[in-house]
Amino acid sequence: MSSTTGLAKTDTPVILVVDDEAGVRDLLGDALRLGGYETFEATDGMAALTALRKRPANLLVIDINMPLMDGFELLERLRDTGDLTPALMLSARGDKSDIARGLRLGADDYVTKPFSLEELLLRVAAILRRSAPKSSSAPILRCGPIQLNDELHLVTLNEEIVELSPTEYRLLQYLMEHKGKVLSKTTLLSAVWEIDFDSESTVVDTYISYLRKKLNRDDLEFIRTVRGVGFQLVEPK
């Protein structure tokens, strides 16, 4: 189950840009406003927490390397308080350990500096589209003792609630909708994240590992790795 604590209730999405470099903040702010979004800014993690207490946001664009409180600590503090406002991380070097850590803490996506403003806007639009409320009467999905109720946005395992981040929820939902099928990384990236990552991306592996930790109990294994092909959700025997 996921919370939407902190989301701004407005027709025009509001984006908080968190970066200690004034030039980067100005560039991002200008590009996002040209893209049709409202923006406000913070110079580091501490300033971002203060800003969010005064004004909620629909999306956070967070630089990793900042003084006082870096992007990782900011994201961790927000998630620890139940604030699941979508977050896009800015990574300076494309360091895989930085990217994996951000995803593990609950980031929804990342871009590596230097990046094109077109790529940034595409990723922002994709995150906001994925996080938008859905008015659907989707059926309850089941896989053995796992049950996903999309109307309630609720996942249970043996009738116990399983707390999932928005991205974990979307990934599990797609796997359950295609139960028994072997799904490639490319398919999952396109369906769940909507924008292609580079071919070396470990984002799918990272989130599959998160789901396994939360779902694999009592020696039951629901997600199989088909080496060289992809992943498969199965009912344990």
CB 45 within 8 A of CB 18: yes
**63 assigned to some structural domain:** yes
How many separate helices (H) and strands (E) can be counted in the chain?
Answer: 8, 12
CB atoms within 10 A of CB 5: 12
Query: pLDDT tens string for the chain (237 positions)?
Result: 444 556 666 679 999 999 999 999 999 999 999 999 999 999 999 999 999 999 999 999 999 999 889 999 999 999 989 888 999 999 876 677 788 888 888 898 888 888 889 989 999 998 998 877 665 556 799 999 999 998 888 999 999 999 888 889 999 999 999 999 999 988 998 888 876 655 456 788 889 998 999 998 777 789 999 998 999 999 877
- Number of structural domains, the chain? 2
What tokens were used for 136? 């659907």
Based on the fold, state whether residues 25 and 42 are members of the same structural domain.
Answer: yes
Distance CA 78, CA 49 (A): 8
Position 197 scores a pLDDT of 57
144: left (phi over 0), alpha (psi -120 to 50) or beta: left
Of 22, 32, 33, 4, nearest in space to 63 by CA:
22
Based on the fold, state whether residues 154 and 101 are members of the same structural domain.
Answer: no
**Residue span of the structural domain in which 23 resides:** 14-131
**85 assigned to some structural domain:** yes
Please name the residue ranges forming H helices in the chain.
22-34, 45-54, 71-80, 96-105, 117-131, 166-177, 185-188, 203-215
Based on the fold, state whether residues 207 and 156 are members of the same structural domain.
Answer: yes
**Cβ neighbours of residue 125 closer than 8 Å, sequence gap 6 or more:** 35
What tokens were used for 48? 């971002």
CB 6 within 8 A of CB 85: yes
List the CATH number of the domain containing 100: 3.40.50.2300
Distance CA 38, CA 223 (A): 40
Distance CA 123, CA 107 (A): 13
What tokens were used for 53? 């207490």
**161 assigned to some structural domain:** yes
Based on the fold, state whether residues 21 and 126 are members of the same structural domain.
Answer: yes
Q: Which helix (H) or strand (E) holds 63?
A: strand 59-63
Based on the fold, state whether residues 118 and 156 are members of the same structural domain.
Answer: no
Based on the fold, state whether residues 145 and 122 are members of the same structural domain.
Answer: no
Task: Name the 3-class secondary structure at 71.
Answer: helix
- pLDDT tens string 145-163: 999 998 888 999 999 999 8
Based on the fold, state whether residues 126 and 44 are members of the same structural domain.
Answer: yes
Based on the fold, state whether residues 44 and 96 are members of the same structural domain.
Answer: yes
CB atoms within 10 A of CB 75: 26
